[in-house]
Amino acid sequence: MAAIARWLRAFGHFWFDFLFGDSPVLFPATLVVVAVAFELRHHRLAAVISVPLLVIALIVGTAYLGRTKSAQPGTGEADETS
């Protein structure tokens, strides 16, 4: 029984690490975009406008978060001013 519990824990850890990985924001945001697209499946014009805008906002937002995260002191990256 302990081997099954250990296997299930390892399996869950793998999927959590696979789906969330280095950027835990991307997976939930992707689920939101897919949910919006699913809800707007009968409203073609609204979907054609809103889904690409959501994807662009997702890309810009994660790039901004990544840039501010890498610009913080103590992240281990070399300073570009030297």
pLDDT digits (tens, 9 = 90+) for 23-48: 788 889 889 999 999 999 999 999 99
pTM of the model: 0.67
Residues above pLDDT 90, as percent of the chain = 49
- SS3 state at 79: coil
Contact in structure between 30 and 51 (CB atoms under 8 Å): no
pLDDT of residue 23: 77
CA 23 to chain CA centroid, nearest Å? 5
Q: Where are the domains of the chain?
A: 21-71
pLDDT of amino acid 20: 85
Distance between CA 82 and CA 73 in Å, rounded? 14
Select the more confidently predicted residue: 66 or 47: 47
Q: Is 10 helix (H, G, I), strand (E, B) or coil?
A: helix
